[in-house]
Chain A
Amino acid sequence: ETGVTQTPRHLVMGMTNKKSLKCEQHLGHNAMYWYKQSAKKPLELMFVYSLEERVENNSVPSRFSPECPNSSHLFLHLHTLQPEDSALYLCASSQEGPGSGGVEQYFGPGTRLTVT
């Protein structure tokens, strides 16, 4: 049973829509992550939050906007997306944030996003 939940599990949206992805971790962790997973490609780190402060933003387009209101919740706000943004969006958490080696990440099941 994963300690990281994501909603919705599937989302279809048009290019002019605005939607949000939600992630919640029940593990008492201090860091949370958003990843993009496209078929046959490596996981792409999008954003990292440690103790609710953003510590990493890997040059992600501004049409993706993260929000971390507390250490247990993470959102990804989406607007005016492109078809190439269709992918699996994974949330993860870890006990400690970047700067701590050997820290395993616990993943949620992901949101399968399709942009039409």
Chain B
Amino acid sequence: GQNIDQPTEMTATEGAIVQINCTYQTSGFNGLFWYQQHAGEAPTFLSYNVLDGLEEKGRFSSFHRRSKGYSYLLLKELQMKDSASYLCAAMDSNYQLIWGAGTKLIIKP
């Protein structure tokens, strides 16, 4: 079956660094997405990886290793506004997104 695993909840301190891991099993692969969703709001796109390696966008970076079925989202210099759920999704051979349940990130002062 197809499956995405990510931690349910993580806590980190303002100004610190946090890494949110995601492992996936899909029938075929056409990319790995990360979305951010603040409570009561729409998910917003953060990153897309299809090749192995690290993609950096400001304070956020996403890493992907296809052979391991693994990705992580790295958030640096954490701010209180980064408190949100982070959704990992893998696109299968039919170009359908398989979603994880999301990781709720709590930032403490």
Binding site for B on A (CB under 8 A): 2, 4, 40-45, 56, 90, 98-102, 104-110
Is B73 positioned at the interface, with any CB of A under 8 Å from its CB? no
Q: How large is the interface on B (under 10, 10 to 19, 20 to 34, 35 or more residues)?
A: 20 to 34
In terms of DSSP, what is the predominant structure of the interface of chain A? loop
Of listed A98, A104, A106, residue having the most chain B CB within 10 A: A104
Per-residue CB contact flags for chain B residues 95-106 toward chain A (1 = under 8 Å, else 0) read 111111110000
Task: Give complex CA distance A24, B4 in Å.
Answer: 30
CB contacts (< 8 Å) of B95 on chain A: these are 98-101
The 8 Å CB contact of A40, one of B8, B35, B42, B89, is B8
* Other 8 A-B pairs with CB < 8 A, given A98-B94, A107-B35: A45-B97, A90-B42, A98-B95, A99-B95, A106-B45, A107-B42, A107-B44, A108-B42
Taking a contact as CB atoms under 8 Å apart, the answer to whether A102 and B43 are in contact is no
In the complex with contacts A40-B8, A42-B100, A43-B87, A102-B50 CB distance below 8 A? yes
CB contacts (< 8 Å) of A102 on chain B: these are 30-31, 48, 50, 91
Nearest CB in chain B to that of A35: its residue: B99
Taking a contact as CB atoms under 8 Å apart, the answer to whether A56 and B43 are in contact is no
Nearest CB in chain B to that of A41: its residue: B101
Min CB distance, B99 to chain A, in Å?
4
Taking a contact as CB atoms under 8 Å apart, the answer to whether B50 and A4 are in contact is no
Is B33 positioned at the interface, with any CB of A under 8 Å from its CB? yes
- Please list 25 pairs of residues, one from A and one from B, whose beta carbons are closer than 8 Å in the complex, sorted by A's number: A2-B42, A40-B8, A40-B102, A42-B4, A43-B43, A43-B87, A43-B89, A43-B97, A43-B99, A44-B99, A90-B43, A98-B94, A98-B95, A98-B96, A100-B95, A101-B31, A102-B48, A102-B50, A104-B48, A105-B97, A106-B45, A107-B44, A109-B41, A109-B42, A110-B42
Task: Give complex CA distance A2, B41 in Å.
Answer: 10
Task: Give complex CA distance A47, B77 in Å.
Answer: 38
Min CB distance, B2 to chain A, in Å?
10
CB contacts (< 8 Å) of B41 on chain A: these are 109
